Amino acid sequence: MMNHTTLPDTAQRVAQLLDALGHDQRIVMLPETGKTSAEAAAGLGCSVAEIAKSIVFRRLHDDAAVMVVASGSNRVDESKVAAIVGALGKADARFVKEKIGYAIGGVCPIGHVEKTVMLIDQDLMQYPHVWAAAGHPHAVFRLTPAQLTAMTGAPVADVALRA
């Protein structure tokens, strides 16, 4: 059992979820913010592409949160995502906090307050490990792409904007 008491509240909640899932990697607190993929990668000494960033949209027909867990080096192609899940709109900070339960900059792929429609970027599948936000801008955790798909139950799809 990890010591979660030194973590911020939202990261403690993620740590408890990870424990419950039997995940063996501890949450890492970055000294600098991990709000952007580049900042997180610099703090971890990995490539930007190995950061599993969570991008949230609002599905227009039912106001559901749609989360794309994308490779940090990719821009998400909104039209590709919309073709899979339906027409999308922007999700502001209040919507993300309300529907997902985390503040932007620390949005974790698990532990959402409402059922979230999710897709995982196929480009993440090529890495032995990726890093995802753990509920706080400074908190991240390491996992394999297979663990990411198992934890979220999300399908893997081509969601990246290609030049």
CATH number of the domain encompassing residue 15 = 3.90.960.10
pLDDT digits (tens, 9 = 90+) for 43-67: 999 999 999 999 999 999 999 999 9
Structure confidence at residue 2 (pLDDT): 47
Is 77 among the domain residues? yes
Is 1 among the domain residues? no
Q: Residue 78, class by beta-carbon neighbours within 10 Å (0-12 exposed, 13-18 middle, 19+ buried)? A: middle
Is 163 among the domain residues? no
Report how far apart, in Å, the C-alpha atoms of 128 and of each of 49, 142, 143, 144 are.
12, 10, 9, 6
Is 2 among the domain residues? no
Q: What b/e string do you get for 116-155 counting C-beta neighbours within 10 Å, with b at 16 or more?
A: bbbbbbbbbeebeebbbbbbbbbbbbbbebebbbebbebe
Residue 156's φ and ψ, nearest 5 degrees, are -90, 135
Angle at 53 between CA 150 and CA 85, to 5 degrees: 65
Is 162 among the domain residues? no
Is 43 among the domain residues? yes
As a whole number, mean pLDDT of residues 70-93 equals 97
**What residues make up the domain containing 87?**
9-157
Q: Does residue 70 sit in helix, strand or coil?
A: strand
What is the number of domains present in the chain?
1
Is 142 among the domain residues? yes
With beta carbons less than 8 A apart as the criterion, state whether 120 and 16 touch: no
pLDDT confidence tier of residue 6, bands split at 50, 70 and 90: confident
Is 94 among the domain residues? yes
Structure confidence at residue 163 (pLDDT): 78
pLDDT above 70 coverage of the chain, percent: 97
